[in-house]
Amino acid sequence: MERDNLLRYRPVIDDWDTFLAAAQTPLPHVVRANTLKIAPSSLQHRLIASGVGVASYDWTEELFEITEPPGRRIEHWLGLYYAQEAVQILPVLALDPQPEERILDLCAAPGGKATFIAARMQNRGTLVANEPKGRRQMSLLANINRLGVLNAMITAYQGESFPMGTKFDRILVDAPCSAEGTLRKVPSLQHGASMGSIARLARLQKRLIVRAFDLLAPEGNLVYSTCTFAPEENEAVVAHLLQERAARVLPTRIPVETSTGLREWLDETFPAEIQRCVRVYPHHLDSGGGFVALIARA
């Protein structure tokens, strides 16, 4: 199952055999309780009463692993939960959105993170959910409506040219990426992504992170995240921002097992603070993989 594009990560993943075993295992069915409509405990009781097996997580009350596909249930259509891999809520936990703030989700579709941000804001404040692609805007709008989000507006700008007229307290850039962290559900990525797609996406990601930083309020926080393993799309993008702007990387406090950001990759050495970023691998929390960085003004 291994090919060079995945094998190149072997030197940076401590427990390679465990990683490979997890990567080849089907994903569990996981849902996030939508606290805009139901308390997590009430959702748990409702599912159990209807005969669904439910297992909770010890690091968050909002996630549950269930024993059947979540999209088939009435609770999905009522917006009581959102089907979401465990790793996908980590960027929002790092962002730590609060009620009454002004927040931008620069790459928002299909809306899993945007609707979680709105829930953490308790529908209070302003959430701008930006998505440039028309077809993806439809899924974003559908999820915002289904989950009862009332404080969001959808915009359709190219993220790298988002208008500069407004400053935001918090910004999430969950960037388009080569998606290697989704290899448990996308068989072709079991072999890693192509170097061409990684290079192309890294160029876009660098433009996105710089524009997002320029939109940040003086005391604001920016979270940059991906669902890929490629350092070219992760550490190298954050390092590019540090070179282009007066930015600093903050410690990323996430309540699950993670690995630190890489200090070196191939022939490139990154600033020491890049180690404050976090890498998440499938065997860390029985989910997909990803990368999260918390950034502020220097």
> 107, 177, 227, 277: which is the annotated catalytic residue?
227
Nearest Cα neighbor of 137 from 147, 129, 126 is: 129
Q: Do residues 80 and 50 touch, judged by C-beta distance below 8 A?
A: no
Closest CA to 277 of 252, 298, 296, 256: 252
Task: Show me where the domains of the chain are located.
Answer: 4-23+86-297, 28-84
pLDDT in tens, 24-36: 999 999 999 999 9
pLDDT of residue 1 exceeding 50, the answer is no
pLDDT at 4: 73
pTM beyond cutoff 0.95: yes
Q: Mean pLDDT, to the nearest integer, of 167-184? A: 98
227 is known as an active-site residue: yes
**Reported confidence tier of residue 85, pLDDT bands at 50, 70, 90:** very high
Question: CATH for 28-84?
Answer: 3.30.70.1170
Look at residue 253 in the predicted model and tell me its pLDDT. Answer: 87
Percent of the chain with pLDDT strictly greater than 90:
95
Give me the CATH code for the 4-23+86-297 domain, please.
Answer: 3.40.50.150
Percent pLDDT > 70 in the chain is 99
User: Tens of pLDDT along 95-145?
Assistant: 999 999 999 999 999 999 999 999 999 999 999 999 999 889 999 999 999
Residue 17 has pLDDT above 60, yes or no: yes
Per-residue pLDDT of 221-263, as tens digits, reads 999 999 999 999 999 999 999 999 999 999 998 999 999 999 9
Determine whether 267 is exposed, middle or buried from the number of CB atoms within 10 Å of its CB (0-12, 13-18, 19+). Answer: exposed
Q: Mean pLDDT score of the chain, rounded to an integer?
A: 96
**Cα–Cα distance measured from residue 287 to residue 29, given in angstroms and rounded to the nearest whole number:** 10
Helix ranges, the chain (H): 4-7, 16-23, 40-49, 74-77, 90-95, 112-120, 134-146, 195-214, 235-244, 282-285
Distance CA 162, CA 128 (A): 11
pLDDT of residue 134: 87
Instruction: Give mean pLDDT, residues 42-54.
Output: 98
The one-letter amino acid at 17: D
Confidence of residue 38 (pLDDT cuts 50, 70, 90): very high
